[in-house]
Structure 1
Amino acid sequence: MKSLFKAIRYLFRGFWHGLSVLRVVVGNLLFLALIVFLLSIFLHGSDQDLPDEAALVLSLRGDIVEQKTETMLSNRLFGEAAQEETLLKDVLDVIDYAAEDPRVKLLVLDLRHLGRAGISKLLDIGQALERFKSSGKSVYAFGDYFDQRRYFLAAHADEINMHPMGGVMLTGFGLYRNYFKGALEKLLIQFHVFRVGTYKSALEPILRDDMSDYAKDANLTWLNVLWGAYKTTVAQLRDLAPENIDDYINNGPAHLARAGGDDAQLALDLGLVDALKTRDEVREDLVRLVGENKDKKSFKQIEFNEYLAAVRPIFLRTRADSPKVGVIVAQGIILDGDQPTGRIGGDTLTDLVRQARLDDEIKALVLRIDSPGGNALASDIIRRELEITRQSGKPVIVSMGSVAASGGYWIASAADKIWAAPTTITGSIGIYSAFPTFEKSLDYLGIHNDGVGTTHLADAFDTARPLNPILAQSMEQTIKHSYHQFIQKVSEGRNMTPEEVEKIAQGRVWAGQTAKELGLVDAMGNLQDAIQSAAEMTDLKDYDVIYVKQPLTAREKMIRRLNRFLVAAVSSIKGQTVPRAVRMYEKFGVELEQVMQLNDPKGVYAYCLICDLN
């Protein structure tokens, strides 16, 4: 019997030893697999050989942005935050380089995976497509279906082909928000709001159950400018009258009835597209235009990302002894401290501006702003650094992207010259603060708050108690003072009297075209125009352009590559479907998340919540 137990003991001992060995082996294999995986990500996108002759497929994926957002896959249920992003600069560089590249015979617009893009960014890409066409080459567009963004770019093509089951969906621009006053009253939540400016409508959703007449008047004014630019551009490109675009939208049912309910045929009849073709017919078209590829399964082509990887080193090349125009990109909400790319950190952007000022090779600075604003204090810290840069003798030029409003304009007002697109959303010169208290909600539930403090302000920030009257009086005065500071800084930067600024301030939003007429902007143009302007201000004839960025460690570079790889993978898996939960989030939660990010130490904000029309 002893020998039997001994044998069993040896058997189990051998089993556990073998299991331990197996665990080590499997662990090592998984570790090696991870190393290979990370190396493949790190090496992904290296230079590739280009075909001698091909069509460049401009397959734009995800949102068009000034600066990529560096956050790991986040909490939006793999929705918007996991969306791929494409740099506007990369798109423009590729189109312009391809125009002079003899290997590129044709540009093909594949817009099926295009995400969000502001009208100003679409206009920039459209201008690049027109430059490509002026080189003598053609642009060919195809799609199963065109929404408003995709169609704007497709309209620049020499030929638009659409699937016979497709359609062109144009809607115009609108601004509709959810209003929570009634819900807050039912929940017995007290929201205390401090604001300055007749048109500072950012907080109307918690104060009203509808949009005020002031807000409707102001919003419709700039929406009409943007829509006018859209339909005028499309009408000119498609040889239509602008009013035909409005008629197509407003009288859609009648037009559809005449086309027998066929969306695609309607688009063809009205001249919105040139032909209705299936995918195989499109492929045959392109084979005829540029030839068949090696495996004879499609046309000779190179994708946007492959072409970008091959030619990017050319864009990054600078001469060691040449004078430089420095460019800093400031995209996103303005927050305190250090922030990742895709957000504007007061400390982060200030450090970059200082870096550019202390670099003797950089003779002028261009700040590209694409921001609805945010923290008032952070905005002023950045503005001061720009002022110091100007005082040092280096010109500071601001180039506005799709939006440069509220805190974004606070920063811009320090520049020697401000450039904007006619469709830039800007202005919104106003200040506000808001926070809730829940004493009535808690009282309804039978929860009561009581205690003692050493001063009259000891309970100032306790949301379980009514708003402290001393705090309320202090906040009211702080907001008024901050607003007058905002007015004064704009007055100084724009050579206007405070009274002149006050007339066009009060939180009102303006389109870039109107802002120029009002004196808030100096010139209409894109980033390249601003760079040229900076060079002229310093008498530079032969110069290079460099982008001033925070240096990344090797670890940060690998994390960035891993992040983009995972985002691309999730986007590929997700495809074009949007989960219902994400749609609900985008309808109700986006504004809440934006407000929750704000972190001004005094709770004072110069932030435009209505300025995002991407």
Structure 2
Amino acid sequence: MNFLKNVLATIVGLFLFFMICFFALLFISAIAGSSDEVKVKENSVIELDLAKVQFDYAGKTNYKEFNYFANPHNGLFDIIKALKYAKTDNNVKGISILNNNTSLGIAQTKALRNALEDFKKSGKFVYSYSNIYTQKSYYLNSVANKLYINPVGQLDFKGFSAEYMFFKDFQEKTGLKMEVIRHGKYKSAVEPFLENKMSDANKIQTSELLHAIWNAVVTDISKSRKIPVETLNNIANNLNGRTPQLALQNHLIDKIAYEDVYHNDIKKLIKVAEDKDYETIKIEEYSKSVATQNTDLSTKDKIAIVYAQGEIMGGEGDVNVIGEGAMHKALKEAREDKNVKAIVLRVDSPGGSALTSELIWREIELTKKIKPVVVSMGNYAASGGYYISCNANTIFAESTTITGSIGVFGMLPNFSEATSRIGIHVDQVKTHNNASSYSPFKPLDDNFKQFTTEGIENVYQTFLTRVAAGRKMTVEQVDAIAQGRVWSGEEAIKIGLVDKIGGLQDALQEAAKLAKIKAYRTVDYPEYEKSFEDVLAAFGLAQSKENLIKQEIGEDNYFILQKIKQLSMQKGVQARMEYQLIIN
């Protein structure tokens, strides 16, 4: 019996030993592979593939179990930095945007578009080819020197619209209700549970927002394509870009051709024989090359860029979740570093937890006492996203940024009517009057509703006070433009919520000016931690739960599932924008 036990123990031990060696070899290979120098060959064309570019900041990750630090370079601003370097890189002859798919938001797209416009000033080319141009991809690609489309391709150019779904009748029919408490006539996050159609106030703000973003988009397209804005609006109204022939006729594109013709035209441009392939390098690889080989460490002064991107929630946070843990460490480290002379907070968030927003606001307040803080707004800096921005020394936004939404709400599920209909009843025993003021299976208690309303009002008043102090306005002035209303960046300047239109680079220049420095380098925050399970997923030896679910239900359905999950995780009063605007 002991012999069998020893044999079994030996087999298990050997198995574990070989498994550990196998994983160790894979990990060492990954590190070695990640440190390989990327060679940019002569006469190269950058392929601007944005499939893996989602966030402003790709994140820094600390694998503590392996004492390994990973810093990918596929964030939006890594790409923009690489494009800036490519202007003067003699090996790079131009950029090819080929059948580009992107999940970037509209303000991120504008930032990238500006970088491409700047790249063209070098005299190098930007060419674009696509089978299908969505409105957002056309907005980006319209910056190109020459646009191609497949002979049987499509171009979507029709203007923007927004659609809401309402649940009032559904609640009444099923008995499954959401008890809503809010402050702000424009705080339409909860409107679907109260009405069967959009309120006049919500229609006004949504219409004005869509028109503001559309005007910013067609103004840029007009400059690049040399088509009057009025003509572009007529094209959109009459769908006069819906076929390749109409798109060419109306100067939205330059050439109808198959992809092989596109590549041959690039060969002619850079003087490569038709029977040869021209050299290409993917933007992700080029970005890595630029980041690892062209970092100037001789400059002592630094400006810290702290990225706040995603939903605002409690806890540590991640690359797509703003948590007070990671933000606290990032801001504390930046303000205590004597070489960091100023901080730029890059905000891309529709908001979330009011409590977490307040905690981050406090960290910025502490930081601002020591060194200047400048905010750069991305796609969103709304509700809680504006809360954490409002006390900065200077606030920059893109014209297409969605901001404001200064308001709060609370929602409580109530199933008492539904359970009663199917014969389920609930009774309670309690020691004090308010020991069980809320239960989803009992009608909402009047005292509890009063206390909750009081809490909502307190948070709203605190929010107003924070904005008023940060923007040097009275509480009454803020309240007049608050009420949960959303504004574009362009509109926000007029009402005092934003100081200037500009991107991250403009914010950095302002931070340097406030810090009274001329030469500086940037350092990115925060830093995140990952586990052994994440390492296995990265090697392809184990799939993450996220990837498995995506494979089963698809990307779009996974996005909806995540929103439902986030809704179920919301705790406390919410300072959250009422919707997420996705432009395709």
Alignment TM-score, normalising by the size of structure 1: 0.85
1:131–1:565 distance in 2 versus 1, CA, 3 Å: farther
Q: Which residue of 1 aligns with 2:141?
A: 154
The 2-side partners of 1:546 and 1:192 are apart by 45
What CA distance in whole angstroms lies between the structure 1 residues aligned with 2:196 and 2:9?
66
Tell me which of 263, 276, 279 is aligned to 2:243: 263
Pick from 267, 289, 298 the counterpart of residue 310 of structure 1.
289
In structure 2, the residue corresponding to 1:466 is in which secondary structure? Answer: coil
Q: Secondary structure at the match of 1:357?
A: helix
Partner of 1:229: 216
Give the equivalent residue in structure 2 for 1:450: 427
> For 2:334 and 2:16, how far apart are their aligned partners in 1?
48
Is the partner of 1:355 in helix, strand or coil?
Answer: helix
| Alpha carbons 2:353, 2:384 under 8 Å: kept | yes
1:285-327 Cα shifts (integer Å, max 9, x gaps): 222223559x9652221111221222211454433x6121111
Distance 1:338 1:155, change over 3 A: same
Change (3 A) 1:36 1:354: same
**Which residue number in structure 1 is paired with residue 334 of structure 2?**
356
Q: Quote the Cα distance in structure 2 between the aligned partners of 1:283 and 1:530.
A: 38
Please state how far the C-alpha of 1:490 moved relative to its aligned partner. Answer: 0.8
Instruction: Indicate the residue corresponding to 1:301 in structure 2.
Output: 280
Residue 280 (1) aligns with residue 257 (2): no
| 1:592 and 2:569 aligned | no
How far is 1:497 from its partner?
1.0
**144-153 vs 21-30, which deviates more?**
21-30
Note the 1:521-536 alignment, pairs <5 A. Answer: 521-536=498-513
Unaligned runs of 5+ in 1: 1-12, 72-83, 257-261
- State the Cα deviation string for residues 25-44 of structure 1 (Å, max 9, x = none): 88876665544444444444
Instruction: Note if 1:248 corresponds to 2:220.
Output: no
Alignment coverage as a number of residue pairs: 567
The question of 1:401 aligning with 2:358 is answered no
2:67 equivalent in structure 1: none
- 1:484 paired residue number: 461
Give the 3 Å change call, closer, same or farther, for CA 388–27 of structure 1 in structure 2.
Answer: closer
Q: Residue 154 of structure 2 aligns to a residue in which SS?
A: coil
In our comparison, the structure showing a higher alpha carbon Rg is 1
Q: How many percent identity over aligned positions? A: 32
In the alignment, structure 2 segments of 5+ residues that lack a partner are 62-71
Q: What SS does the aligned partner of 2:362 have? A: helix
Change (3 A) 1:331 1:21: same
Is the contact made by 1:238 and 1:272 (CA closer than 8 Å) also made in structure 2? yes
Partner of 1:9: none
Give SS of 1:193's match.
strand
Equivalence for 2:167? 180
38-47 or 519-528: bigger deviation: 38-47
Contact 1:287 1:300 in 2 (8 A): no
Matches within 5 A, 1:408-447: 408-447=385-424
Match of 1:102 among 79, 90, 93: 90
Deviation at 1:415, TM superposition (A): 0.7
Equivalence map 1:597-608=2 (5 Å): 597-599=569-571, 603-608=572-577
| Pair 1:188–1:494, CA change in 2 (3 A) | same
SS in 2 for 1:165: strand
C-alpha distance in 1 between matches for 2:297 and 2:258:
46
The answer (yes or no) to whether the contact 2:399–2:489 under 8 Å persists in 1 is yes
Query: What pairs up with 1:2-401 in 2 under 5 angstroms?
Result: 33-46=22-35, 47-68=37-58, 86-112=74-100, 114-252=101-239, 255=240, 263-292=243-272, 298-314=277-293, 316-319=295-298, 322-392=300-370, 394-401=371-378
TM-superposed deviation, 1:367: 0.5
Matched, 1:537 2:526: no
Partner of 1:80: none
Partner Cα distance (2:308, 2:570) in 1 = 17
Tell me the CA shift for residue 582 of structure 1. 4.9
SS class of match (1:164): strand
**CA spacing shift, 1:67–1:541, aligned 2, 3 Å:** closer
- In 2, Cα distance between equivalents of 1:566 and 1:609: 38
Q: Deviations over 1:215-273 (max 9, x none)?
A: 01011111111000111111221111223333223222xx58xxxxx811121111111
